[in-house]
Amino acid sequence: MAKPPDVRRAVRIAATAVAGLAVLGGLAAVGGVPDSGRVPAAGLLHSTAKGPGASSLVSSHAAAVTTPQQEKVEAYWTPHRMSTAIPTDAAVGNNVLSREETSPPVEGKAVKAMPNLKMGRVFFKIGAVDYSCSGTLVSSASGDVVATAGHCVFADGAYVSSFSFVPEYHDGQAPGGVYAATKLVTTAEYAGSEDLEYDVGFASMDDVLGIPLETQFGAYPISFAGSPPSDVQIYGYPAQAPFDGSSMWTCSSDSVRTVEGSHDLGLPCDMTGGASGGAWLSHGTLVSVSSFHYVDLPGVLWGPTLGADAEAAYHAAASA
């Protein structure tokens, strides 16, 4: 894994973080406070061009491609399994975040969000263990693409299994249904080195009824402008105390932080593990996903800047 600026120890905000963990939905925790300040955000652009050589930027994996495989995945995620899914980091031994933090900034206090069928929890397995993260439907040519964190589709050198998306999840229930992934995609940089600056993933979903999920539930446009956004809202399903993963929460800020020497974006927010992969929206457009936080910079979540690598991964998922 590439080290963050100033050799900070990052903890991924993985699916559901363990006490002291920094990874959301696999959130990575990094030690040492970076020299970061608030910067005004630039305007958003919505890019749709694949560009030459895009395939070299992508790593992908065929998931549940047949109807029996899809039905098996969708049947696996019972209310009990969904409510007891744990964070990726709990299994791989990243429980390294010491709780010496101070209280998070007041502006970073999460509040409960309104139910939304365009957002939900994602569930998956690593080996025989069940995990969860957060995910969001994004507009695409196929109408079946969910955006999440790279570490929610690829962990410990391999792709996860039994990946599913549950729109508007709450209290173990799936009002919008359970949908299996047919293809998982992340950036080649993340798959190759787990570099958190490229920690974004996409899943192409089975729509079950032959009607794209975007048609059924709606979806958010996605931007690959590569510049710091403004007026950002973060959404996710934090599951580490004081949260329990049963409902969606949100944080908001009128500006984001940046770190010299890094393309990561930071936003004040006290969401815990389980929020990884959750949407960062700016003016209704997805501009990043929750990825990690610094252990000695409490109350701030960080996410990757979505550039050419993320765009190539998105197009690979949309073409499934």
Class in CATH terms, 1-320: mainly beta
Amino acid at 21: L
Helical H runs in the chain? 67-76, 79-84, 88-92, 188-193, 213-217, 308-318
Q: Is the pLDDT of residue 229 over 90?
A: no
Classify residue 106 by its DSSP letter.
G
For 150, list phi and psi in degrees, rounded to 5.
Answer: -60, -40
Q: Tell which residue, 208, 86, 199, has the closest CA to residue 153.
A: 199
Length of the chain: 320
Determine what percent of the chain is predicted with pLDDT higher than 90: 55
Work out the angle at residue 117's Cα, subtended by the Cα atoms of residues 161 and 220, and round it to the nearest 5 degrees. 90
Instruction: Quick: pLDDT tens for 204-226.
Output: 999 888 899 999 999 999 999 87
DSSP H helical segments within 178-228, as ranges?
A: 188-193, 213-217
Q: What are phi and psi of 110, to 5 degrees?
A: -75, 145
- For residues 29 and 132, give the distance between their C-alpha atoms in angstroms, rounded to a whole number: 18
- Residue 254: the pLDDT is 78
pLDDT digits over 75-123, tens only?
999 999 999 998 665 333 333 222 233 344 446 889 999 989 999 999 9
Domain map (residue ranges) of the chain: 1-320
> Model pTM?
0.81
